[in-house]
Every structure is written in C-alpha cells, then in structure tokens.
C-alpha cells in the first residue's frame, strides 16, 4: 500500500487537467450521515474506521458530513487529511432567523465545505431551486466550498426530461456562483434512486455525467468540463459501487445510509483501488 500523504485542512481545489487525455481528476468520497448517530457513534466510527483508512490523499479526498451537533467532535477527532463539512446551510445571512445556521457561522466555525441541494432538502423540506441557488450564493460569499446535488425525479426521467432538468439546475448554479466554479464538486443524484434501493444503470449514470460535463465545457470552458469532479449519489452500497466507479465519468460517491455502517469500508476501499489504478 502506498504511503499515506497528509494534507493541511484547506479548501480542496478542483483538479486540473494535464491536457494529455490522461485522467487527472482526483477521486472524491463523502459520507453523509444525515440525521443519524450519537456521540458514541461518532467516536466509534472515526476511531475504528475512518482514521484507520490509509490512502494517498493526492489521489483521493475523503469528507465526513456529520449532523450539526457532532461537527466539532468530528473536527477534533479526524486525522489531518480527512475533511469535515456541513450537511446544510441557511439561504439567509445572520439575523432574525430562529434556528437557522448561516454561511457566516459555518465559516466562523472553521467549516470549509457544505452540501447543498440534496434531494431530501428539496423533497422533505420543499426547497425550491431558487432557495438552493441562494444557499450557493451565500456559501460562496463566505468562502465555502460546495457539494452541489442535481438530478431528476421519476416523472421527469420517464418523460425523458433528464437533460432539460440538469441544464436548468446547472444554469441556476452558474448564476449563483457568479461563474466561478472553483471548489465545487457536483453530485448527480437521480432522485428516484434515493433511499429506494433502486439505482441508475451504468448507462444511465454515464449518460447523465457526460451530459453535465458537456454542459460545463460548452457553457463555461472545455478545461472546466474536463476537470470538474462529478460524483454519483443514489443508494450507493458495497455491492453496486464497484461497477459504478469503473465508469470513466464517475469520480467518486456521495454515500448516505451506507456510510454509517461497516460496509462503508468496502465502498471506500473500492474507490481507493480505482484511484490507485487511474492516477498511478
């Protein structure tokens, strides 16, 4: 196994292309614990699993997304090369917004990344694309890196509207980001696969990722289209991750429920092996 490389806790820059056609995008895996876990759980999983992962941090980024109350504990416990981000942020700044956590608060707390646009925020909490875009804008104004979720629901997939939905979401993100895509990771999240046990086929996943990459190349720049990390999010498990990570357009995973279980080690090691092969 390659010697572990330790990186300082700083925003993760978008991997740049070498222009040679060889893959240079660093892999990315994020563990979204959602509203799960206790203090005991956090201590146990970090001590006995996360901190035991040995990998080349020049080839793979690992990020934990704990619940809000467990962020400080996770920050204090993780190895230096493991990033810790937040699962959500308010679309409002500081002010009379009881219960909200503003982007200013996350930045002040030393949190450098935030997950935005997850299907459960859109579905359960009815966050519109306008709200999602405002969260992106506020996060960027406060120097936060963002993992942006985008994807279609079942009705849109069945009506063959996936491309249009992705285009609309990307256009909204582009405006909210002010055209600056630095420190962004895109997570393709077919909503119909979230928590259902269903998963997009290899062809569906590759097609969606290619569509996103082509939009970036055409709308922003070919360099960004090649360099942007696009990860898959949608019922990722230890049994389906190996086929998905072999796809040329998939740069890693946003892992939900499986990231709270022992199976996360298998998922991580699958991504790690692929990174070792592709970025040797």
Name the one residue in this structure whose structure tokens are 């390659």: 2
pLDDT band at 125 (very low <50, low <70, confident <90, very high): very high
- Greater pLDDT, 205 or 22: 205
Q: Is 189 a catalytic residue?
A: yes
pLDDT band at 21 (very low <50, low <70, confident <90, very high): low
- Rounded to whole angstroms, how far apart are CA atoms 186 and 182? 11
Region 246-253: mean pLDDT is 97
- Rounded to whole angstroms, how far apart are CA atoms 94 and 96? 7
pTM over 0.85: yes
Q: Is 209 a catalytic residue?
A: no
pLDDT at position 14, please?
Answer: 40
pLDDT at position 280, please?
Answer: 77
Q: Rounded mean pLDDT of the chain?
A: 91
Question: Does the pLDDT value for residue 3 go beyond 60?
Answer: no
Cβ atoms within 10 Å, residue 273 = 13
Question: Does the pLDDT value for residue 176 go beyond 90?
Answer: yes
Calculate what percentage of the chain has a pLDDT beyond 70: 91
| Identified catalytic residue from 118, 127, 174, 238 | 118
**Domain 27-92+102-278 is found in CATH 3.20.20.70:** yes
Question: Does the pLDDT value for residue 6 go beyond 60?
Answer: no
- Rounded to whole angstroms, how far apart are CA atoms 94 and 71? 20
Half-sphere exposure of 253 (CA within 13 A, CB side): 31
Pairing of strands 113-116, 83-84: unpaired
- Report yes or no: 190 and 229 within 8 Å, Cβ to Cβ: no
| Identified catalytic residue from 127, 152, 189, 226 | 189
pLDDT band at 195 (very low <50, low <70, confident <90, very high): low
- Report yes or no: 49 and 264 within 8 Å, Cβ to Cβ: yes
């Amino acid at each position: 196994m390659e010697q572990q490389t330790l990186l300082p806790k700083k925003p993760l820059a978008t991997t740049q292309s070498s222009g040679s056609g060889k893959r240079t995008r660093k892999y990315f895996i994020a563990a979204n614990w959602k509203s799960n876990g206790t203090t005991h759980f956090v201590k146990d999983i970090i001590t006995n699993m996360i901190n035991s992962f040995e990998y080349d941090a020049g080839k793979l980024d690992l990020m934990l997304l704990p619940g809000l109350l467990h962020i400080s504990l996770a920050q204090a416990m993780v190895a230096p090369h493991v990033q810790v981000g937040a699962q959500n942020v308010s679309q409002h700044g500081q002010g009379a917004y009881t219960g909200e956590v503003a982007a200013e608060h996350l930045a002040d707390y030393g949190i450098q990344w935030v997950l935005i646009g997850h299907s459960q925020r859109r579905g359960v909490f009815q966050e519109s694309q306008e709200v999602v875009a405002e969260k992106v804008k506020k996060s960027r104004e406060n120097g936060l890196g963002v993992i942006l979720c985008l994807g279609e629901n079942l009705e849109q997939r069945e009506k063959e509207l996936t491309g249009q939905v992705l285009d609309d979401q990307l256009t909204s993100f582009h405006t909210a980001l002010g055209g600056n895509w630095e420190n962004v990771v895109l997570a393709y999240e077919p909503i119909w696969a979230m928590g259902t046990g269903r998963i997009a086929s290899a062809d569906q996943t590759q097609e969606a990722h290619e569509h996103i990459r082509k939009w970036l190349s055409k709308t922003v720049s070919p360099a960004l289209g090649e360099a942007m990390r696009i990860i898959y999010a949608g019922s990722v498990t230890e049994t389906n991750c190996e086929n998905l990570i072999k796809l040329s357009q998939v740069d890693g995973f946003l892992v939900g429920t499986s990231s709270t279980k022992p199976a996360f080690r298998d998922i991580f090691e699958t991504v790690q092996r692929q990174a070792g092969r592709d970025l040797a």
